Amino acid sequence: MKYSLLTKEQLEELHPEFSNFLATQSIDKAEWDNIKKEQPEVAQQELEVFSDLVWEGVINKVTYLENQSPQQLFLFKIAASEMQLIMVSLQNTTINLTTVEGMLWLEQNLHSEKVELFTSQKAYSEDKNLDVFNLIQQGAIITKGELFEGIAKVING
């Protein structure tokens, strides 16, 4: 298995897609119920293959990721050949970037000496999608990139 098994909740949400996945293998509901009962290892393998397909589809569409903590933001842009990073670090521990108030403070104080901005680029390993998946596993969430692009504009003048 390349990624991770989807949770029970995720699988329930993707029930129609999973049914279609089984149908492409000529497995109907009765046969699936039998496989789960008689061959749990085969059922587990099918769930793993389906999970990897879902993750692959999601990761292929990712362009931006964000990982927030109270005093830091890690903003990623997933480009074709490299990952770009903007890191925002606060020297003011009374501000919490995970709140609306904290983000408003950042917007008004981006040029303050209490805000440090770092940028970096990193080439992918042999497996770009696994690199992106690992960031998601570490707590990054998929976004539309407004924050990344907004801060990039400020940095680039």
Per the CB < 8 A criterion, the answer to whether 54 and 11 are in contact is no
Tell me the per-residue pLDDT of 135-151, one tens digit each, with 9 for 90 and over. 999 999 999 999 999 99
What's at 16, amino acid-wise? Answer: P
Delimit the domains of the chain by residue range. 8-60, 64-156
* One-letter identity of residue 35: I
State residue 69's pLDDT score. 94
Supply the pLDDT for residue 21. Answer: 94
Q: Provide the pLDDT for residue 39.
A: 94
| Residue the block writes with tokens 């919490």 | 96
pLDDT of residue 92: 82
Residues 6+ away with beta carbon under 8 Å from 107:
none
pLDDT score of 157 more than 80:
no
> What gap in Å lies between CA 75 and CA 88, rounded to an integer?
8
Is the confidence at residue 154, as pLDDT, over 90?
no
**Distance between CA 34 and CA 114 in Å, rounded?**
62
